[in-house]
């Protein structure tokens, strides 16, 4: 049997869950999202590309501060949900484009800002995705990247990647802050600020949002329950499997 490639797999995983991501309280709020909106309000870019828009929450937050917001995603079904929600909110300046992060179909220096939130850990290649983000940016453009971040501890890093993959087979990698900084520099971005955060994940909601099969959700619980003290403490693993992850928001400039 021919297996789908990664992009097709991600489209399948997320397209069927589009409504859940638009409605997700975890994705619709947060200090990182508020800071992204504030940074865009300060800069007021004419055109922004939100890469891997998912439920569209960055696009909605950016729309009052930009002339045009281009929300991109692998999944046409996800983008259809974003279009419907944008129309419901009266955001006529949000447009969509189906494409992978590694192949943005826009001209060089097309935009004044790029953003991506909770998407890069699904990209086939962080380096190629960031190279594309830099290519479409004008010199001096604002770049905002937010994601789950891997702990510096290899022990905790391995646990995080394992539970992420069990929950969602399209997961690639949660990168460390050091990996992010190096990749951004190689792509042509200068990091201006890194804002760390912590985010509690309700286990039942986290698995339901991705429709994780029951046997895989059970496997995650086995890993959590058998994890050493250092992992239990770092992720603040609770009796029901809920846990807390590290996040970061990176503000950068295209140079």
| 65 DSSP 8-state letter | G
Q: CA neighbours within 13 Å on the CB side: how many for 130?
A: 26
**pLDDT of 62 above 70:** yes
**pLDDT of 19 above 80:** no
Give the pLDDT confidence score for residue 112 in this predicted structure. Answer: 97
Task: Select from 6, 41, 28, 219 the least CA-distant residue to 117.
Answer: 28
Q: Could you give phi then psi for residue 58, rounded to 5 degrees? A: -70, -40
Q: What confidence tens digit (pLDDT) does each residue in 199-208 have? A: 999 999 999 9
| 224 DSSP 8-state letter | H
Alpha-carbon gap, residue 1 to 61, rounded angstroms? 43
pTM tops 0.75, yes or no: yes
Give the pLDDT confidence score for residue 251 in this predicted structure. Answer: 98
**pLDDT of 255 above 80:** yes
Q: What confidence tens digit (pLDDT) does each residue in 67-91 have? A: 999 999 999 999 999 999 999 999 9
The 3-state DSSP class for residue 142 equals strand
When pLDDT is cut at 50, 70 and 90, the band that residue 185 belongs to is very high
**pLDDT of 25 above 80:** no
Radius of gyration of the chain (CA): 18
Give the pLDDT confidence score for residue 219 in this predicted structure. Answer: 98
Q: What is the mean pLDDT of residues 144-161?
A: 98
Q: What confidence tens digit (pLDDT) does each residue in 200-231 have? A: 999 999 999 999 999 999 999 999 999 999 99
8 Å CB contact between 214 and 97: no
CB neighbour class for 46 (10 Å; exposed up to 12, middle 13-18, buried from 19): exposed
């Amino acid at each position: 049997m021919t297996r789908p490639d990664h992009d097709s797999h991600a489209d399948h995983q997320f397209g069927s869950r589009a409504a859940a991501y638009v409605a997700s309280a975890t994705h619709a709020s947060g200090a990182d999202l508020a800071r992204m909106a504030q940074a865009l309000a300060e800069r007021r870019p004419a055109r922004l590309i939100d890469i891997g828009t998912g439920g569209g929450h960055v696009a909605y937050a950016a729309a009052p501060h930009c002339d045009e917001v281009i929300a991109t995603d692998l999944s046409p079904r996800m983008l259809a949900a974003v279009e419907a929600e944008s129309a419901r909110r009266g955001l006529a300046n949000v447009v969509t484009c189906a494409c992978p992060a590694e192949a943005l179909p826009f001209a060089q220096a097309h935009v004044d800002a790029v953003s991506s939130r909770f998407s890069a850990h699904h990209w086939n290649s962080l380096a190629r995705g960031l190279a594309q983000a830099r290519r479409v940016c004008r010199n001096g453009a604002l770049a905002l990247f937010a994601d789950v971040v891997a702990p510096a501890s290899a022990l905790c890093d391995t646990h995080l990647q394992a539970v992420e993959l069990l929950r969602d087979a399209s997961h690639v990698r949660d990168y460390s802050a050091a990996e992010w900084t190096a990749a951004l520099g190689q792509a042509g971005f200068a990091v201006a600020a890194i804002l760390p955060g912590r985010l509690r994940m309700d286990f039942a909601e986290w698995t339901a949002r991705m429709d994780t099969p029951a046997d895989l959700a059970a496997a995650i619980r086995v890993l959590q329950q058998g994890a050493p003290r250092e992992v239990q403490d770092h992720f603040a693993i609770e009796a029901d499997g809920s846990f807390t992850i590290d996040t970061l928001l990176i503000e950068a400039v295209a140079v």
